[in-house]
Amino acid sequence: MPRYIAGRLIAAFVVLWLVVSVTFFLMHAIPGGPYDRERKIPENVRANVEKRYHLDEPLWKQYGNYLGNLLRFDLGPSLKNEGRTVNDLIAEFFPRSALLGALAIVLALGVGVPAGVISALRRNRWQDHAVMFAAIVGVSVPSFILGTLLLYVFALKLRWLPAAGWGSWREMVMPAIALSSFVLAYIARLTRISLLDVLGEDYIRTARAKGLTRSRVVVFHALRNALIPLVTYLGPQIAAVFTGSFVVEHIFAIPGLGRFFVTSIYDRDYTVILGLAVFYAAFLLLMNLIVDLLYVLLDPRITLEKEKVAA
């Protein structure tokens, strides 16, 4: 296990280097610079600003300097947010996006998994048709449509929830629902499909033949193996949801990290673009590593098979 983790960490560093390199050179290949939109800036002031941020240096030197700073976990200063570094932006705005993402994932799991189980156990009955219809709607309706509908009904008409803001639990309800809708629907469908496959296995029939109750067979035997595809899906999905959604955060005026993924590209804020790319890639690689470790807990045969092959 330690050797496997060490190998994954080495591979992660190689992937991060590739992400940084590709993003860096593609970013500078796009016409225009961070201050080209500022037409009122005199040329001498523009030159001083570019010199301050080393934008006047050769591209290879900027690349080397960025890699050196990155090794010290320094993502550099923001070119458009005066006096703020990329580290400051992530430290300030990421916790809000992560909290919203965590609420969305908890909601998606808390509703999606039971719905998928009910759908599988009631196959071809009205419960199955109702869950699958709701899942299709959840997958098909975009988050900005659902978010706007929630605002209209619960904020404008019924006035049960505040329309925007961040802080109290009442302000988190609608954004969490809007952000979790697609994930919830996909989890319900994936749980149903996986559980139906597992219920047809020989060891499930053996467990039933031993006299175990249906609920015990489902919970302690079938569902555990059926969750493996779900864990695979949740790894990258958690990384995507936790780092913020520009659409949902914009609709509900949430000061999260998601908006910087869009505004940094529009503003040509090189350091923010690179910093967010590195941060997202590192988070994604971490979640994939956690998923691989969870495989061992859900199905110990994965480790045993590797040991047999190695032997």
Model pLDDT for residues 158-206, shown as the tens digit of each residue:
989 998 888 888 999 999 999 999 999 999 999 999 988 888 777 777 7
Joined together, the tokens standing for residue 299 give: 């199905």
Condensed to tens digits (0 to 9), the pLDDT of residues 105-145 reads 999 999 999 999 999 988 889 999 999 999 999 999 999 89
Residues 298-305, mean pLDDT to the nearest whole number: 57
Please give the Cα distance from 152 to 146 (Å, whole number): 10
pTM: 0.85
- Whether the CB-CB separation of 116 and 187 falls below 8 Å is answered with yes
Residue 213: per-residue pLDDT:
75
Q: In this structure, what DSSP letter does residue 31 have? A: S
For residues 289 and 149, which has the higher predicted lDDT (pLDDT)? 149
Query: What CA–CA distance (Å, rounded) separates 304 from 302?
Result: 6
CA dihedral for 34, 40, 43, 45, sign (positive or negative): negative
State the pLDDT at residue 27.
86
pLDDT at 251 over 70: yes
Classify domain 93-269+277-310 by CATH architecture: Orthogonal Bundle (1.10)
How sure is the predictor about 310, in pLDDT bands with cuts at 50, 70 and 90?
Answer: very low
Res 265: pLDDT: 85
CB 21 within 8 Å of CB 277: no
Burial group, residue 273, by CB count within 10 angstroms (0-12, 13-18, 19+): buried
Place 309 in a pLDDT band, splitting at 50, 70 and 90. very low
- For the chain, give the longest Cα–Cα distance: 85
Q: Boundaries of CATH 1.10.3720.10 in the chain?
A: 93-269+277-310
